Structure 1
Amino acid sequence: MAINDNILIKIRDMKDSLTPVEKLVAECILENTDDIPHLSIKNLAQLSKTSDASVLRFCKTLGYSGYRSFIVSISASLGSRDDEQKDQYTDIQPGDDLSIIISNISLNNMKSIEDTLSVINRNEVARAVKVLRSSSRIVFFGIGASGIVCKDGEQKFSRINKMCHAYTDGHSQLTAATLLGKGDVAIFVSNSGDTVEIIEALEVVKKNGATSIAITKYNKSELADKSDILLSISTPELTFRSGAMGSRIAMLTVIDILFAGVASAEYQNVKKYLTKTHNILASKHRK
Structure 2
Amino acid sequence: MGFFGNIDFNSLSDTDQAIYHYMSSNVEKVPYMRLRDIAKESHTSASSVMRLIRKLGYESYTEFRSQFSVESVESDRFDDALNILSRNHFPRNIESKLNQIIEKIQYCENIVFFGIGASGSICEYAARRFASIGYNSYALIDPTYPILSKLKNTSDNILVTLSVSGMTNEVVEIVNGFRNKDDFTTVAITADINSTLAKMSDFVLDYHVDIKRVKKHEDLTSQIPCIFLIEQLANRLQE
TM class by smaller structure: 0.5 to 0.7
Residue 211 of structure 1 corresponds to 185
Higher relative contact order (CA 8 A, sep 6+): 1
Residue 184 of structure 1 corresponds to 157
| Equivalent residue runs for 1:103-122 within 5 Å | 104=77, 106-114=78-86, 115-118=88-91, 121-122=94-95
Preserved CA contact (<8 Å) 1:213 1:227: yes
* Whole-Å separation in 2 of the counterparts to 1:119 and 1:224: 17
User: Which consecutive aligned stretches of 4+ in structure 1 deviate over 6 angstroms post-superposition?
Assistant: none
| Equivalent residue runs for 1:1-287 within 5 Å | 100-101=73-74, 104=77, 106-114=78-86, 115-118=88-91, 121-172=94-145, 175-180=146-151, 182-209=155-182, 210-238=184-212, 244-246=220-222, 248-264=223-239
Structure 1 residues 168 and 111, CA gap change in structure 2 (3 angstroms)? same
Question: 1:184 offset after TM fit, Å?
Answer: 0.4
Aligned partner of residue 147 in structure 1, secondary structure: helix
Would you say how many aligned residue pairs link Structure 1 and Structure 2? Answer: 166
The residue type paired with residue 171 of structure 1 is T
* Whole-Å separation in 2 of the counterparts to 1:206 and 1:167: 17
Preserved CA contact (<8 Å) 1:119 1:232: no
Question: 1:117 offset after TM fit, Å?
Answer: 3.2
The residue type paired with residue 183 of structure 1 is D
Structure 1 residues 254 and 198, CA gap change in structure 2 (3 angstroms)? same
Question: Taking every aligned residue pair, what percent have the same amino acid on both sides?
Answer: 22
* Whole-Å separation in 1 of the counterparts to 2:142 and 2:186: 18
* Whole-Å separation in 2 of the counterparts to 1:260 and 1:249: 16
- Provide TM-score, normalisation by structure 1: 0.51
- Provide TM-score, normalisation by structure 2: 0.61
1:86-111 deviation per Cα after TM superposition (whole angstroms, max 9, x unaligned):
9xxxxxxxxx968855752x434332
Q: State the structure with more CA Rg.
A: 2
* Whole-Å separation in 1 of the counterparts to 2:71 and 2:173: 42
Question: 1:147 offset after TM fit, Å?
Answer: 0.9
Residue 35 of structure 2 corresponds to none
Question: Mind listing any 5+ residue stretches in structure 2 that lack a counterpart?
Answer: 1-27, 29-68
Preserved CA contact (<8 Å) 1:116 1:234: yes
Preserved CA contact (<8 Å) 1:119 1:218: no
Question: 1:207 offset after TM fit, Å?
Answer: 4.2
Structure 1 residues 194 and 159, CA gap change in structure 2 (3 angstroms)? same
Preserved CA contact (<8 Å) 1:177 1:201: no
Structure 1 residues 135 and 109, CA gap change in structure 2 (3 angstroms)? farther
* Whole-Å separation in 2 of the counterparts to 1:216 and 1:230: 8
Q: Which moved more, 1:151-160 or 1:250-259?
A: 151-160
Structure 1 residues 184 and 239, CA gap change in structure 2 (3 angstroms)? closer
Question: 1:249 offset after TM fit, Å?
Answer: 0.3
Question: Mind listing any 5+ residue stretches in structure 1 that lack a counterpart?
Answer: 1-85, 87-95, 265-287
The residue type paired with residue 144 of structure 2 is H
* Whole-Å separation in 2 of the counterparts to 1:177 and 1:234: 31
